[in-house]
Structure 1
């Protein structure tokens, strides 16, 4: 038992260092509201910057698709003139040839390439928007989690300080022989349990802080500033059908599935246009190497589509259109299921929150204060006090958990519909 007492006596020191670690973060802290966090996120997040660069790259490819093939110009000279005994002689009696060649694209190849590049740019833009939707959801959920965990942590600290005061008083009385030592040990066991809960909470806060610091590109300890007046807006829930329609209209991943189907259709036209032979126009001048001196030629060339008519690529592109249609339907079904789950979670969170509001009120604090005072006056037993103390702390944590769950459920509604419903 002496070892247990020795360990328990060092608990205030351990808690002090735990609290000190949080204050160390707070010295370089950053207080942010949801709106301020969104603004900072857009300005500093590297993944957002990379997504924007990808959009710019696709726009550059759009410019490239609009360009015409370059003409080809070539000059030929006789390397050694045996009659005149000269190298590269191109005089009156020498030999030189000049050719000019231009490729003419037929079958709508250039038009289809331009349209494909435009659609690829739209795809990059939608991918960026979808990435922003996912990252903002993670940002908001981390902010709410840290906010409520810090509130619970503050209440745990208050409870630990009060319990520490009681333990110190009981230790004095135990040394004087006025109280049995087992009551001090029982109080310290309660202290250890509450401190363990606090340690787990600190770990959760630190994990969320790591994500926040990465998303916001900061080394400061982020302290969310949440308006407590927002809870009333969470108590209403739109009809599930309206949220499903909103999601199918607003979700970028649904738009991407539709766009991919459009790209697949355009690619079919493009592959068919590749089967159409291109025309090559050629003009040439030959000083002495032709049928007669100073010969001018005009030639037209075109491949003969006898064996290769791009059949394989055309069939592949047609298969991709069917696959894109299936993926589009699957995506719409998946979104509807996500909205359903989010709606039911929000409904359950609203019910829990309303029930908590009815049950948890100022009476809880008043009863706790009364129980603590009566315990110090030894009007109630340690068993009664410890049971109430543990239940009270569980209630404090549960109230914050329910409020956090309500806020996270509301964010999930916004996320699944891609619309600020709340």
Structure 2
């Protein structure tokens, strides 16, 4: 018993005190974008159901409804949430000490002569413990902590990505709804022109060619309406997919496409980018690669195994103590390859970080230019072009009904009006998409201009 006690004291001294382990990952502080919306976090028990499940959106949906549904139902975000929990479990496992071993050895029996039975047998009971040297447990914990933190950053980056994708898909649905409405309006106008052409023909002031041309315009408008209807179905499905829906069950989306965000200065955006999710995540990966290097260096130091226990000699009935110390000799393998690999991967990450930062700055500048250009285009179209085309169509239609203008003039004016409205709608959509790209890079929502 004394030898076992001595072995236990030696093992405890070699292992050192156990550091307290965190039971929950230290997630990065959520970015302002969507911070006030509840998000999905995986339960501690892997067999438990995900919390926060909500019914699939139905009826009339606004952007806030779509964002809330996606944060609680998006399957990609759920996968990242479970990855965080898995890394937490790996951190707990990384802090575990190696289990001790127990061996029983019996010799000098079942032979011949005086060793025929067990009367001269020797029985040895050994309690062994692997003792990790070189700070392996500390580096193992450091690596597990870094990987947990990296998983938390990946979750936050995915949360931002989901929010931006929902907002982009929502804008596409609003635009598709408006295009479908414009196509309906164009079809009704074409039918009205067809009725006027028929009345003019019966009154003897029109020509058959006018009526035929008006019929062709009705057919063209009908084809365009079908096209916009298919686009609307596709846009609705894309939006439903962001909250894990296999079909779009909501009635329609409701929002104001004309509420455009302000264009921030590049200096402000550059400051926000430095702490944005795309750039900050690389710092977490840098810590993870450095932890891998420290782990590889600690593995260069061989571990030792200490075994000790009593041995009983059956013949004289005496007892003694057996102790063993097993030490690997690092003659051929000093883990030099793993250390070099970790060093090269750390250097590679530095280059990747620089490339990612350049890419993010370029994307940010491009998105800002796109937001500024699209906003200016939308303002010009709304204040000058659209009112002019509306007045031109109305005036020419009255003149055509009175017989003072040709049908082709009315049709050209109507096409110009529809083209201007389509251009205005595209400018609004592009402005919103550029703003969403900025929010994805910075994690900060843009203010809507008054």
| Common fold: TM-score over 0.5 | yes
In the TM superposition, 1:3-402 aligns within 5 A as: 30-77=59-106, 81=110, 95-171=122-198, 174=201, 179-218=206-245, 219=247, 220-221=249-250, 223-227=252-256, 230-231=259-260, 234=261, 236-250=262-276, 252-288=277-313, 293-360=318-385, 362=387, 364-402=389-427
Q: Root-mean-square deviation (CA), in Å?
A: 2.9
Alignment partner, residue 33 of structure 2: none
> Is the contact between residue 114 and residue 120 of structure 2 (CA under 8 Å) also seen in structure 1?
no
Alignment partner, residue 27 of structure 2: none
Q: Shift of the alpha carbon at 1:175?
A: 6.5
Question: Relative to structure 1, is the Cα distance of residues 257 and 272 closer, same or farther in structure 2, using a 3 angstrom cutoff?
Answer: same
Distance in 2 of aligned mates of 1:363 and 1:336: 40
Q: Shift of the alpha carbon at 1:361?
A: 5.4
Question: Relative to structure 1, is the Cα distance of residues 263 and 228 closer, same or farther in structure 2, using a 3 angstrom cutoff?
Answer: closer
Distance in 2 of aligned mates of 1:290 and 1:278: 37
> Is the contact between residue 59 and residue 121 of structure 1 (CA under 8 Å) also seen in structure 2?
yes
Distance in 1 of aligned mates of 2:129 and 2:189: 89
Q: Shift of the alpha carbon at 1:148?
A: 1.9
Counterpart secondary structure, 2:313: coil
- In the alignment, is residue 407 of structure 1 matched against residue 439 of structure 2? no
> Is the contact between residue 150 and residue 281 of structure 2 (CA under 8 Å) also seen in structure 1?
yes
Counterpart secondary structure, 2:439: helix
Counterpart secondary structure, 1:287: strand
Counterpart secondary structure, 1:297: strand
Task: Give ranges in structure 1 of 5+ residues lacking alignment.
Answer: 1-27
TM-score when normalising by structure 2: 0.78
Question: Relative to structure 1, is the Cα distance of residues 309 and 181 closer, same or farther in structure 2, using a 3 angstrom cutoff?
Answer: same
Q: Shift of the alpha carbon at 1:338?
A: 0.9
Distance in 2 of aligned mates of 1:336 and 1:120: 27
Question: Relative to structure 1, is the Cα distance of residues 364 and 169 closer, same or farther in structure 2, using a 3 angstrom cutoff?
Answer: closer
Distance in 2 of aligned mates of 1:65 and 1:246: 36
Distance in 2 of aligned mates of 1:139 and 1:387: 38
Deviations 1:298-332 (CA, angstroms, capped at 9, x unpaired) = 22222122221111111111111111111111111
> Is the contact between residue 153 and residue 284 of structure 2 (CA under 8 Å) also seen in structure 1?
no
Distance in 1 of aligned mates of 2:58 and 2:328: 70
Distance in 1 of aligned mates of 2:229 and 2:198: 29
Counterpart secondary structure, 2:259: helix
Question: Relative to structure 1, is the Cα distance of residues 215 and 290 closer, same or farther in structure 2, using a 3 angstrom cutoff?
Answer: farther
Distance in 2 of aligned mates of 1:299 and 1:79: 20
Distance in 2 of aligned mates of 1:123 and 1:152: 43
